[in-house]
Amino acid sequence: MAEPADIAPVSKSMSFVAFDTETTGLWAPVHRIVELGAVKFRLGERSHQSFQSLINPMREIPADVVRVHGITDEMVRNAPAADPVLREFLDFCGSDTVLIAHNAPFDISFVGCELDRAGLTPRDNPVLDTVDICHRFIPGLPSYSLIALVKHLGIAAEQDHRALSDAHLVRQVFERAAAGFPRIESRAQLLDLVTSHRLSDWRGEEVHLTPRFASLEQAVTRKLPVEIVYATRAQPPRTRVVRPQALFSLGSKVYMNAYCELARAERTFRLDRIVQFQLIDE
């Protein structure tokens, strides 16, 4: 394990929870979580606590999704519903931990939507995104998918696409990236260093697009590919073709879930970081 940065006294006092979800699809208001896994840890300590549970989504799991994570209808038939699992997950996290996920808006949307359905109030835990963190502290990589990062960092050669094992990978990626952090004296300083979300940011209401992005709704409805020029703080604008799956809001930002042909995987894009785009009519 890479040695973490000198962030005392935070390294001795702050607990992190790396978590991951496996789902029946890409769009949280429509699809469901089928597995939730998490690892609680502190930087510089090898010991950790684990949480994992299958969840009965109360619907069939599409065959194309089963091929990704391997979770079948039979495996979740006798699993608990989302409500008790979410209660246990919130208790596991506690109120003072910093959560970490890879492509965090996606996982936040699913956990938030399931909390809405269960009538549970989300905790106000901050959530960090290892995609954002690695763009900042491991710049210049051709891909920031989880499997690309763990291969680049020598953590693993493959990814199981199961919630607990992926949560362990997220933890290790975060630990490697944290080795590049400047000296951090407080939790607030850590949260100012990178983009942070909160579980309580999730809002399930309908997304209202500005006129500039209104045609993206047509792309989602008609399943049209879109060529976008996308920029982040860490990388200059880059052109890619994506196939939008869904639009959702998180806090004050609007996001698009899409299959990215460049990364050959599902990705989440912030609309305010799309410099320009055009629909491709097939």
What is the tens place of the pLDDT at every residue in 131-164?
A: 999 999 999 999 999 999 999 999 999 888 999 9
Q: Where in the chain is the domain with CATH 3.30.420.10?
A: 10-201
Query: Strand pairing of 253-260 and 98-101?
Result: unpaired
Q: What pLDDT digit, counting tens, does each position of 77-131 carry? A: 999 999 999 999 999 999 999 999 999 999 999 999 899 888 898 888 999 999 9
Q: What pLDDT digit, counting tens, does each position of 214-265 carry? A: 899 888 888 899 999 999 877 789 999 999 888 877 777 888 888 888 877 7
Query: Any idea how long the chain is?
Result: 282
* Residues above pLDDT 90, as percent of the chain: 58
Q: What pLDDT digit, counting tens, does each position of 35-86 carry? A: 999 999 999 888 899 999 999 999 999 999 999 999 999 999 999 999 999 9
Catalytic residue among 102, 161, 168, 197: 161
> What residues contact 67, with CB distance under 8 A and at least 6 apart?
none
CATH of domain 10-201: 3.30.420.10
How far is the C-alpha of 171 from the C-alpha of 100, rounded, in Å?
8
CB 279 within 8 A of CB 218: yes
CB 180 within 8 A of CB 109: no
Query: Strand pairing of 98-101 and 16-23?
Result: parallel
Residue found by looking up tokens 């460049």 in the block: 262
Question: Average pLDDT of the chain?
Answer: 89
How far is the C-alpha of 199 from the C-alpha of 202, rounded, in Å?
6
What does the pLDDT read at residue 27? 80
What does the pLDDT read at residue 222? 84
CATH of domain 211-279: 2.30.30
| Overall average pLDDT of the 183-207 stretch | 82
Q: Is the pLDDT of residue 21 over 80?
A: yes
What does the pLDDT read at residue 10? 59
How far is the C-alpha of 144 from the C-alpha of 217, rounded, in Å?
26
How far is the C-alpha of 89 from the C-alpha of 161, rounded, in Å?
19
Q: Where in the chain is the domain with CATH 2.30.30?
A: 211-279
| Overall average pLDDT of the 192-213 stretch | 81
What does the pLDDT read at residue 152? 96
| Per-residue pLDDT band at 1 (split at 50, 70, 90) | very low
What does the pLDDT read at residue 7? 55
This model's pTM is above 0.85? no
Query: Is 197 assigned a catalytic role?
Result: no
What does the pLDDT read at residue 2? 46
